[in-house]
């Protein structure tokens, strides 16, 4: 019997900013150390980057079947931030939390 497809009900949104001159290095580091583990556990992950004059903002959105699934990944309260080992070196300020949103509807075309 095939495993039932899990549907996302929760989005977890993380934001961080770097100095513009460190953005490329942070993007590569963040992918290797932060995003790859998410890809293995979350139902989906999206990464965004906005370059400004002096800084770059990174946004990561991961999708989860439930708050409990997020808690299993984070090892506790999913609203708590898990800083990467080099975040203090790269980020202008360490984020104090993440945003957790309930997914109401998903709109768009499907394949």
Instruction: Give a yes or no: residue 35 inside a domain.
Output: yes
What lies within 8 Å, CB to CB, of 20 at 6+ separation is 51, 52, 53, 54, 55, 56
100 is written with which tokens? 């957790």
Q: Which of 50, 47, 45 is nearest to 17 (CA)?
A: 50
Residue 109, in any domain of the structure: no
**How far apart are alpha carbons 42 and 63 in whole angstroms?**
6
Domain contains 40: yes
> Would you say residue 108 lies in a domain?
no
Residue 25: which CATH number? Answer: 3.30.70.100
Q: Which structural domain, as residue segments, surrounds residue 57?
A: 10-102
Count of domains for the chain = 1
Is 21 inside a domain boundary? Answer: yes
Q: What is the pLDDT along the chain (111 residues), one digit of tens a residue?
A: 444 568 888 999 999 999 999 999 999 999 999 999 999 999 999 999 999 999 999 999 999 999 888 888 878 888 888 899 999 999 999 999 999 999 887 777 654
Task: Note whether 12 and 45 are within 8 A (CB).
Answer: no
């Amino acid at each position: 019997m095939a495993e039932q497809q899990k549907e996302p009900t929760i989005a977890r949104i993380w934001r961080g900013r770097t100095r513009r001159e460190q953005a490329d290095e942070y993007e590569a580091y963040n992918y290797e150390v932060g995003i790859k583990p998410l890809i293995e556990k979350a139902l989906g992950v999206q990464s965004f980057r906005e370059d400004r004059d002096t800084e770059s903002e990174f946004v990561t959105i991961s999708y989860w079947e439930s708050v409990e699934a997020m808690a299993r990944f984070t090892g506790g309260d999913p609203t708590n931030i898990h800083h990467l080992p080099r975040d203090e070196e790269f980020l202008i300020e360490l984020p104090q939390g993440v945003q957790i949103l309930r997914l109401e509807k998903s709109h768009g075309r499907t394949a």
